Amino acid sequence: MTTDVNVKMDALPGLDPNALPLQVKNLQVEFRTRNGIAKAVNGVSFDVAPGETRAILGESGCGKSVTAQAIMGILDTPPGFVTGGEILYRGVDLLKLPEEQRRKVRANKIAMIFQDALSALNPVFTVGFQLSELYRKHRGMSRKDAKARAVELLDLVKIPAAKQRVNDFPHQFSGGMRQRVMIAMALALDPEVLIADEPTTALDVTVQAQIMALLAELQQERNMGLVLITHDMGVVADVADRISVMYAGRVIEEAGVNEIYASPAHPYTKGLLESIPRLDLKGQELSAIKGLPPVLTNIPPGCSFNPRCRYAQDVCRKDPSPPLYTVSSDRTAACHFWKEVKGDE
């Protein structure tokens, strides 16, 4: 599906059509609370190429969703503040743009699927109204043309009887169908990058597979970059090209999906993989990472994972935290003992 009116992006100073559609460099976000400053994102960097799927993986509270909100410019301020780094769209730092110019990128070029479709959709308007509003506001279409596009979008995401369902309210759709509506809304303006924040949360396994297959199909058709935020190792294995593993606000390992699964180089990544149920270990107790993630207002010195790590030694408990060591030409891991973790020594 194509749009009738192209959004003019030449108003963005420094726009480089040859640059990557999304680059995040040393992003830092903190929440200023009564209990202190919580460093939710602490130096996160990654990029996304056209057609590439970048998975951001980690436990709840590691900073995945906050990173996405910072990229989209929808962080609640206060208490959340972006305190450093760059978020580049085609070479333009979105953090330096006034809100009016940043709005031209949001949804038009970088869009987001939210975790809870029922909360994200407005319960008092039909899905057709909410979809067509994007075309009226961003493309200047008439109500009739915008509604026709809304029907096309529902067809695109394979909602049966789209002409009739366009007049339904969000509560009249099942969880899986609401998630399809959210995908349709995110894709309405043909973004170059789609951020999917836990897109299969609270859906049964069959519907999860359908949603992920739909995203993969639409991504391939549009050569769209995809940022997949999840804690589900199974989902990542099936769809991701590269993985950024996060812990306590930092990326602690980055590599191609096959490398990560074949030989993790960080103890946290290794623990996540070992905790996946396996058919050949049926009846045996599941492995688990001991302890709990740190409180972000009181992150321990040195490596933030050291209180839970079986490889930890004195150097791991002293500042500064370990840098991202080069494991291979396109792989890094923030662990002093990555060779032992991989089994190289």
Give the length of the chain.
345
Tell me, yes or no, if the pTM score tops 0.75: yes
Please give the mean pLDDT across all residues of the chain: 90
Is 60 in contact with 231 (CB distance < 8 Å)? yes
Per DSSP, 231 falls in state: S
* Mean pLDDT of the 212-227 span: 92
pLDDT band at 344 (very low <50, low <70, confident <90, very high): low
pLDDT tens-digit map of 75-100 = 998 999 999 999 999 999 999 999 88
pLDDT tens-digit map of 282-312 = 777 778 899 999 999 999 999 999 999 999 9
* Mean pLDDT of the 151-155 span: 93
Strands 22-33, 80-89: pairing is antiparallel
On the question of pLDDT at 5 being above 80, the answer is no
Is 248 in contact with 305 (CB distance < 8 Å)? yes
Alpha-carbon gap, residue 119 to 145, rounded angstroms: 27
Per DSSP, 294 falls in state: P
* Mean pLDDT of the 14-37 span: 94
Alpha-carbon gap, residue 68 to 193, rounded angstroms: 12
Sign, CA torsion 226/232/238/242: positive
Which tokens sit at 232? 């589900």
Residue 187: what are its φ and ψ, rounded to 5°? -90, -5
Kindly list the domain boundaries of the chain, sorted by start residue: 22-240, 264-279+286-342
* Mean pLDDT of the 58-72 span: 93
pLDDT band at 4 (very low <50, low <70, confident <90, very high): very low
pLDDT band at 203 (very low <50, low <70, confident <90, very high): confident
pLDDT tens-digit map of 243-252 = 999 999 999 9
Query: What pLDDT does 177 receive?
Result: 92
pLDDT band at 11 (very low <50, low <70, confident <90, very high): low
Alpha-carbon gap, residue 234 to 267, rounded angstroms: 19
Matching CATH number, 22-240, of 3.20.20.120, 3.40.50.300, 3.40.190.10, 3.30.1360.20: 3.40.50.300
* Mean pLDDT of the 204-230 span: 89
- The three-class DSSP label of residue 75 is coil
On the question of pLDDT at 10 being above 70, the answer is no
Cα→Cα distances 297→83, 188, 207, 211, Å = 16, 39, 37, 36
On the question of pLDDT at 161 being above 50, the answer is yes
